[in-house]
Amino acid sequence: MRVQVLIAAVLGWLSCAAATSNNLTDLVTWDKYSLTVNGTRVYISSAEFHYQRLPVPELWLDVFHKLRANGFNTISVYFFWSYHSPSKGVYDFQTPGKNIQQLFDYAKEAGLWVIARAGPYCNAETSGGGLALWGSDGSLGNLRTGDETYHQAWLPWVTKVGKIIADNQITKGGPVILNQVENEYQETVYSPTNTAVIYMEQLESAFRDAGVVVPLTHNEKGMRSMSWSTDYKDVGGAVDVYALDSYPGGLSCTNVNTGFNVVRTYYQWFSNYSFTQPSFLAEFEGGWFSAWGDKTFYDDCLTEHDPSFADVYYKNNIGQRVTLLNIYMAFGGTNWGHSAAPVVYTSYDYSAPLRETRQQWSKLFQTKLVNMFATSSPELLTTYMVGNGTGFRVSDPAIFSWVLKNPTSGTTFTVLQQAKTPSTANVSASVTLDTSAGMVTVSDVSLYGRQSKILVTDYTFGSHKLLYATADILTNGVFDSDVLVFYLKAGQAGELALTDEQDLTYTATGSSKVTSSKNGTTQVFKWTQSTGTTAVKLSNGVVLYLLEQQTAWRFWAPATTADPYAGAAQKLFVIGPYLVRSASVSHQVLHISGDSDTSTTLEAYVGSSPIETIVWNGIRLPAAKTPYGSYTAAIPGAESRTISLPSLDRWYSADSLPEADPSYDDSRWTICNKTTTKSPIAPLTLPVLFSSDYGYYVGAKLYRGYFDSSSSTSNFTSVNLTASGGLAFGWSAWLNGAHIGSHPGAASLTTTTLQLTFPPTVPLRKTGNVLTVLVDYHGHDETSTAKGVENPRGLLGAVLLPGDGSGTPPTSTGFTQWKIQGNAGGGAGYIDPVRGPLNEGGLHAERLGWFLPGFDPSTSPAFSSPSESNSPLTGLNKAGVRFYTTTFHLNIDSDLDAPLGVELSAPAGTVARVMIWVNGYQYGKYVPHIGPQTRFPVPPGVVNNRGSNTLALSLWAQDDGGARLDGVRLFSYGAYQSDFGFNRDWSGLQPQWEDRSRYA
């Protein structure tokens, strides 16, 4: 492929681009090159973060520290309507986890801008796509259209959340710089009267009426349509700044040779459809989600772990003039409670750069290298495409290049990648570079397998200019001297020259051998990269850091300002630790806050300020000065620390399905008596049994159906049941206390039907027979499934059949009454605002709050005392549900971050459904016969690192033979010495048990 830019096009790019505003604010403007914030052109390096998926607000700041340290200057945030509105007219923006003012405050504190994405529809693999679940009864109207019923449903949400967003805009000193309208909403009919256009205009007006003045944006759903751009068929509804979503990897967890083909048409796409606007990828692949029944879990998906993805794909975006890039997900988090859409399970790790456990890994570190380069290279922000193609200005057609040029400074950026990006072969070539000294051909430029490089010319750093370089630039800084940081893989050759500077002497410290020679009048420095760090001090004062790539992964540039876009003179350089959160110099002391996994040597470059002491996380350490002006100290790690975790072998247990007993008192249950529904899906039988029609939205639902068998016309021998609970859900049925069958669920099935035969061992009564049905719940559908959140859950139909069940269906269902029970209080009850509306379901143990801290099972007659027979490792010997609870104490060192998890296992062939609660938070769903998840991370704040904890399990056996687990254990993912403070009083996040007997 080769695209040469025509002369006329070049002249167009050379023309000065006038900044565009929305006439509401000039603090955020744009043109065809980039966004401008507070008068400065910026490269937006954004990280997708969903606060709902981390219910400990204090840890939001921990995540933000890590994102900022790894070169992100912005977070993109969904605000899920479902999380804040448990019932119609009720909105919660105050309780922990839902106080979004705290989110904005933490973002500002960490030095991050915010792209707000409040929907009302978000998708995001969250239940119902984030739409209010109280509307799952059909009352929302015609979803995502200009339908007035839908308009009136979402308008209060946008009004309320829009006001909070507006109060936190950059115009009011806050961090919000962009506001997204809707999500991946395709425009297919270009008419001002089309319902989609009307809907978009309604939304835009609502956000403006709420006070939002920053530019509005929208994300195109891949290259599937052309939507809402002012540059393409604008008939109404267009946003200020167009954006595109793209997930191009096509990777396979089981085959490393699958996928890894980059997309090379972004440049053309933006040139066609948003040519007056900057190129904005609003969602770009940071990983991918894993579904129920997948063969591998995130921990085992090696292809998604590879830092080469970040290196090749993110640089490929730079090569196509993208100047706004949001990584989805940067931190995935957890679908705790019942917050997941059916397409995903508990973990939403997403193989993201920052793991669900909040741990950093090489994928994040390589992302950092790309981020730091892009955000510290202002000349990158006004470029045009010189050309691109296989072998373009490269001697080997095995290499593809993108060549960009800044028309003002003459700076060029040559992005190199394999012509066939899946290739793992090593290739080397000569590259011709366009410099102010003329065309220069450099040799021995290599790519090791899946690698990309960005070669620059006429690149300004401080008061100096780089004529060219064949190593990647990480960043640059202005201290008493100008400092330029490069990185290469070990064994690769590097070459550079400065502009108009000759006869420089130098001193090199480190293992890479550096040489100097003349090419005409140009002084050229060459080296072969060795492991570790090599520093070169030039006689003109310039310091060059030559880092091996893995050493560069531990390079940090903490800002000395809260401004998200710190300049070259507003940062310090630190090498060595696992994480640097902040750094500052005062009174000859360098203070550094960070995290350390292993003991190492910390090196810091701070300029001319003399340093006598380095204070690492409060520990005073003597500083030693290097020949090139940096300072070093030995910092402690956590490799020798002991994380002592107790065994879990003292369990109380109780039956959690007394509702199967026909004598169970259900007099306070909700009677299913509706004969009509607002749902777009018709019930299979009457009365309507859809759970949402009776105010029960999330979690397991219990039904009790009554019928008589007193005559020849009611000689029932079987029952036909249809249930819906989302992909991989299951259900079970009991007749007069006896299990008559279960559907175990399947990863591909949202709705299932069974005809269950009444066994002869269960004689029917003349009156008062009770059919108890327990239906699991795996979330409400996104709109990618027809009708979306309005697809009903629970029982869709139930009919009793006489004889052998093969004849004509009866005209009556045979049931005299149905009752339903769900989570305690239903959606309207909202009895635990702290844990929110998505945490609990309708199991007996849940309704009574047995999973909550402070509940004492020893005082409850329902519980058996701890013994081997009451352990989940013994389990049940028949189909049913049993509940287990235990307590454990932790005493983890207060200066450690030790991410913990719960691991479950079961014998092969076990058909069961398990939920895990930690201090009242439902933090895991384990379905061993479907999988794949067996390890469940639990963050501090949900678990108490120092103190008492409550762990509870529900074990739902779906086979007549029962079910048991063969392993329940706590484990640690790692340990990091830190001063962040993970040992806190978390009691405000862990409301205690109160009597709930009224919900039985």
Residue keyed to tokens 């008596």: 673
Tokens coding 614: 């380095």
Residue 96 CB partners (closer than 8 Å, separation 6+): 55, 56, 57, 834, 988, 989
Residues 679, 314: Cα–Cα separation, whole Å: 44
Burial of 233 (0-12, 13-18, 19+ CB in 10 A): middle
CA nearest 851: which of 922, 952, 938, 926?
A: 952
Burial of 908 (0-12, 13-18, 19+ CB in 10 A): exposed
Catalytic residue among 182, 184, 548, 790: 184
Give backbone dihedrals phi and psi of 974, rounded to 5 degrees, phi first: 160, 180
Residue 785 CB partners (closer than 8 Å, separation 6+): 342, 750, 791
Residue 172: which region, alpha, beta or left (left: phi > 0; alpha: psi -120 to 50)?
alpha
Distance of CA 463 to the CA centre of its chain: 40
Burial of 167 (0-12, 13-18, 19+ CB in 10 A): middle
| Beta-carbon-side half-sphere exposure of residue 825 (alpha carbons within 13 Å) | 18
Tokens coding 971: 């484990």
Catalytic residue among 125, 204, 283, 356: 283
First-to-final CA distance of the chain: 68
Whether 345 and 291 have beta carbons less than 8 Å apart is answered as yes
Return the DSSP state at 128. G
Question: In this structure, are strands 482-488 and 624-625 parallel, antiparallel, or unpaired?
Answer: unpaired
Burial of 854 (0-12, 13-18, 19+ CB in 10 A): middle
Whether 779 and 346 have beta carbons less than 8 Å apart is answered as no
β-bridge partners, 324: 44, 280
Tokens coding 4: 């040469």
Residues 213, 201: Cα–Cα separation, whole Å: 15
Examine the residue annotation and report whether 356 is marked as an active-site residue of this protein.
no
Alpha-carbon separation of residue 17 from 214, 269, 276, 320 (angstroms): 20, 20, 9, 18
Alpha-carbon separation of residue 592 from 211, 573, 632, 976 (angstroms): 40, 11, 12, 15
Whether 905 and 914 have beta carbons less than 8 Å apart is answered as no
Residue 277: which region, alpha, beta or left (left: phi > 0; alpha: psi -120 to 50)?
beta
Tokens coding 192: 């001002």
The DSSP line for 36-78 is EETTEEE-EEEEEE-GGG---HHHHHHHHHHHHHTT--EEEEE
β-bridge partners, 738: 735
β-bridge partners, 670: 820
Residues 37, 154: Cα–Cα separation, whole Å: 31
Examine the residue annotation and report whether 283 is marked as an active-site residue of this protein.
yes
Whether 455 and 479 have beta carbons less than 8 Å apart is answered as no
Question: In this structure, are strands 426-435 and 412-418 parallel, antiparallel, or unpaired?
Answer: unpaired
H or E segment at 273?
A: helix 266-273
Whether 915 and 954 have beta carbons less than 8 Å apart is answered as yes
Q: Active-site positions?
A: 184, 283
